[in-house]
Amino acid sequence: MVSQRKRDKQLRLYKTMRLVRIVETQLSKLFADSEVPGFIHLSIGQEAISSGVMTALDERDTMATNHRGHGHVIARGLDLERFFMEIMGKAGGICGGRGGSMHVADMELGILGANGIVGAGIPIAMGSALAHQVRGTGGVAVVFFGDGAMAEGVLHESLNMASLWKLPMVFVCENNGWSEFSPTKDQFAAALSDLAAAFKIPHTLVDGNDVWEVSQAAESLVKEARNNGPQVLECKTFRVRGHYEGDPQKYRPEDEINSLSDIDPLARAERSLIEQGVSQDELNAVMSDIDQRVAAAVEVARADDLPEFSAALSDVYTLKVKG
């Protein structure tokens, strides 16, 4: 028999996943309607990872993410209105509309930022882990990276330094099987478990589409990182959308795309909750509430002003006055 505490936690995880899914779905529509400038990379199908990992962190902790990072910052608790403003390039955005989809950051929440360069968030998180250690904050730094980053030298260097210095850090690999347009097996010869072992860092492999499994592993590894040093969490998942929004995915087997609905992490969570006694009416109420919250945030973002060009250099350069 499932305890009320576990059921409540699973429902909270589901709410976070549903919020991430609806936000990403709304962004897809906004992008199609030319309301989002530039490219966006969606994490639809990978919501269990962002939700499961973020629930293991507390206010002391920091995180860095990548180009497919909307879910991570939403699960961390980023304000929805300021998030949509940022993605839509509005003045009220969390970064003043200048960061956009691939550079969302909020230092108050410990969000060190997303990054459009593959693997570039890894050393940023490592620096934060070092800061936690030196300052004695008790915090842990988490970094999200895709399987495409496994071939990047900066990951290998960061694993080495984190191991040598016993940094409080969790490396989270969202292994969705594709590095842009190439299968992972065609661009990286090793396994992440072997790479972690080479640097004497514990490696844990989980089903990245099972939010409960992800959350349980994340809680354990965050605790280990606080006390004993770096950990690697590899989450096997699947990328539903293309590498970027609008990618026709002609390089991808059709049967793989058609089978993705069978392993949808939200559908799995819904089935589990219903088995535990949560009613369909309750789930429908959750969906309705989230739909309304997201729709309201989008309308606020639409009504916001565009940034003034005169502010383009703000927070970029520091002027040194002579004398």
pLDDT of residue 66: 92
**Contact predicate 242/213, CB 8 Å:** no
Surface-to-core class of residue 295, CB atoms within 10 Å of its CB (0-12 exposed, 13-18 middle, 19+ buried): exposed
Distance of alpha carbon 15 from alpha carbon 21, whole angstroms: 10
Q: How many beta carbons lie within 10 A of that of residue 264, not counting itself? A: 18
pLDDT of residue 322: 64
pLDDT of residue 240: 78
Residue type, 50: S
Residue spans of the domains in the chain: they are 4-311
Q: Residue 160: which region, alpha, beta or left (left: phi > 0; alpha: psi -120 to 50)?
A: alpha
Distance of alpha carbon 85 from alpha carbon 93, whole angstroms: 4
pLDDT of residue 249: 67
pLDDT of residue 4: 83
pLDDT of residue 285: 95
pLDDT of residue 260: 62
pLDDT of residue 250: 73
**Cα angle at 144 between 151 and 102, to 5 degrees?**
95
**Mind listing the pLDDT tens digit for each residue in 209-230?**
999 999 999 999 999 999 999 9
4-311 CATH:
3.40.50.970
- CB under 8 Å to 179, separation ≥6 — which residues? 146, 147, 148, 151, 187, 188
pLDDT of residue 99: 86
Distance of alpha carbon 10 from alpha carbon 52, whole angstroms: 10
| Residue numbers of the chain with a pLDDT score lower than 70 | 1-2, 178-183, 186, 242, 244, 246-249, 251, 253, 256-261, 318-323
**Contact predicate 149/119, CB 8 Å:** yes
